[in-house]
Amino acid sequence: MPRPGTRQPAAERKKGAADEGTRKPASERKKGDADAIVYAFGHWIRLEALAILAEGKFSVAEVARMIGISVPRLSGHINGLYDHGCIESMGEDTSGNANEHFYRAVVLPRIDDEKFREMSPVERRESLGIVTQAVSAETLASIRAGKLDDDENARVIGRYLCVDAQGKDEVQEHVLDVYGQLIDIKVKNAHRLSKSKKAGTTTIISVTGFERSRSRMPHTEKATARRIATGRGRKPVAKREKDIADAVAYAAGNRIRVDALGILAEGKISVAEVANLLGVDLKRFSDHVRHLYDYGCIEDVGTEKARNTNKHFYRAVTLPRISIEEYRSLSFEERRDVIGLIVQRVIVETLASFRSRKLENDERVQLIWDCLNLDGRGKQEVATCLTRADERLLAIEALNEKRLAKSGESGIAMVASLIGFERSRPGRPDAGYDSPRKI
């Protein structure tokens, strides 16, 4: 049997395990695509399992041993991931007197712009869902592992942009160009690592540009990263019931919370007003809001008298524009908190646009990800590339503000993200991350 943390070579596995994966048919899945995604990263065990299964075919027993939990405890999560279409079954194999079940992450083909335009809406949605699941799960897993806290080369950048039709094309073309630059870095690193015989560091990158699910732009204000991390209307860190990684997973783990956070991002609003906009029961919704506040995901902005009752108001945490210098001045705890909030915003906005079908209906949508193997120099090159890409996004935003002011148009609310970080596990994924993916 393989040792914990290692993989048994395929040649050493007993015959009988299938080489081709099978995914639960869409008609038999327990949840829709969007709800399946949030299920996938709604628990830390599923996050760890997905990171392992991205690296290829493993038995349930092997995954349980790597995570450090019992097979019975893991089995329910694996069954759920399979039933929701999040992973593929790779068949069974006999070990001793028992049958071992094997699984892996869903493998996707390369999809370029032309292929994407030719795909049916159902095919587009399936592919977009798996990419969204993979990137969200990998990001949350790396936050849990502390890979982003003390890495000054890590980049997690999320931007809201108000643009005209021309600006939307500019953002999406820019994101595509950034990916081209990252591929150049990937190739150069491969040559250097081959020459030096070093292993390199497994790095996940993701660059996106898409239309927001709601037409309104989120609320913005000037605030330092430290002020965001240390409080204002947020529950103090010491009193929160969850770590930031688990808090983000909770925030994005239910469609009501995802839709509510989209509304709360637009500014101060009462609990009753949000419940009314969502068409849900106020008492039921109040529980979601209470937990979002208790976990540090939103801010309490006070109460106001309204007839014979008090109206309680909240809003999403406003995110600052953080310079490299300011980031370096933060403590590891403050970095972790601010990064978690940015990840929360990007994941929630992506899920909301996915749920509203904005992603699959836009032929120019950019949801791009890849896995790079980098040396120390390569990590710095990726960080520099993403920092410059963010500067270009801000320049595009400034030009669009001038055009919109001149035309009087309201503009299109867009979300763009530029992300690069060290993977939570040292292994290089080969089940869904082995080649560039473009959606």
Query: 3-state secondary structure string, the chain?
Result: CCCCCCCCCHHHCCCCCCCCCECCCHHHCCCCHHHHHHHHCCCHHHHHHHHHHCCCCEEHHHHHHHHCCCHHHHHHHHHHHHHCCCEEEEEEEEECCEEEEEEEECCCCCCCHHHHHHCCHHHHHHHHHHHHHHHHHHHHHHHHCCCCCCCCCCEEEEEEEEECHHHHHHHHHHHHHHHHHHHHHHHHHHHHHHHHCCCCEEEEEEEEEEECCCCCCCCCCCCCHHHHHHCCCCCCHHHCCCCHHHHHHHHCCCHHHHHHHHHHCCCCEEHHHHHHHHCCCHHHHHHHHHHHHHCCCEEEEEEEEECCEEEEEEEECCCCCCCHHHHHHCCHHHHHHHHHHHHHHHHHHHHHHHHCCCCCCCCCCEEEEEEEEECHHHHHHHHHHHHHHHHHHHHHHHHHHHHHHHHCCCCEEEEEEEEEEECCCCCCCCCCCCCCEEC
The predicted-structure confidence for 28-48, as pLDDT tens digits, reads as follows 887 777 888 888 888 889 989
Instruction: Report the range of poorest mean pLDDT among 6-10, 99-103, 163-167, 302-306.
Output: 6-10
Identify the bridge partners of residue 416 per DSSP, sorted by sequence position.
Answer: 159, 209
**Single-letter code of the amino acid located at 409:** E
The predicted-structure confidence for 243-262, as pLDDT tens digits, reads as follows 888 999 899 888 899 999 99
Question: What's the whole-number mean pLDDT along residues 112-116?
Answer: 79
Whether pLDDT at 439 is above 80? no
Q: Angle between the 121-144 and 244-251 helix axes, to the nearest 10 degrees? A: 160
Q: What is the dihedral of CA 51, 136, 38, 432, to 10 degrees?
A: -50
Rounded to the nearest angstrom, the gap between the alpha carbon of residue 314 and the centroid of all alpha carbons in its chain is 24
Question: What's the whole-number mean pLDDT along residues 117-130?
Answer: 85
The predicted-structure confidence for 408-436, as pLDDT tens digits, reads as follows 999 999 999 999 999 998 876 664 443 33
Question: What's the whole-number mean pLDDT along residues 159-185?
Answer: 95
Sheet containing strand 87-95, strands side by side: 58-59, 98-105, 87-95
The pLDDT value given to residue 382: 97
The predicted-structure confidence for 386-405, as pLDDT tens digits, reads as follows 999 999 999 999 999 999 99
Whether pLDDT at 278 is above 70? yes
The pLDDT value given to residue 349: 94
Total Cβ atoms within 10 A of residue 295: 21
The pLDDT value given to residue 18: 42
Whether pLDDT at 306 is above 80? no
Residues 261, 348: contact at Cβ < 8 Å?
yes
The pLDDT value given to residue 97: 64
The pLDDT value given to residue 236: 85
Domains and CATH numbers, the chain: 10-105 (1.10.10.10), 153-212+358-439 (no CATH), 223-357 (1.10.10.10)
Residues 396, 173: contact at Cβ < 8 Å?
no
Number of residues assigned to the chain: 439
The predicted-structure confidence for 186-243, as pLDDT tens digits, reads as follows 999 999 999 998 889 999 999 999 999 999 998 776 666 667 666 678 888 888 888 8
- Would you place residue 320 in the very low, low, confident or very high pLDDT band (cuts 50, 70, 90)? low
Dihedrals phi, psi of 147, to nearest 5 degrees: -75, -20
The pLDDT value given to residue 338: 86
The pLDDT value given to residue 15: 36
- Would you place residue 77 in the very low, low, confident or very high pLDDT band (cuts 50, 70, 90)? very high
Please provide the average confidence, as pLDDT, over all residues in the chain: 85
Q: Which of 56, 48, 50, 61 is nearest to 101 (CA)?
A: 61
Instruction: Report the range of poorest mean pLDDT among 112-126, 219-233, 313-327, 403-417.
Output: 219-233
CA distance 51 to 79: 16
The pLDDT value given to residue 14: 37
Tokens of 231: 């409080």
The pLDDT value given to residue 1: 25
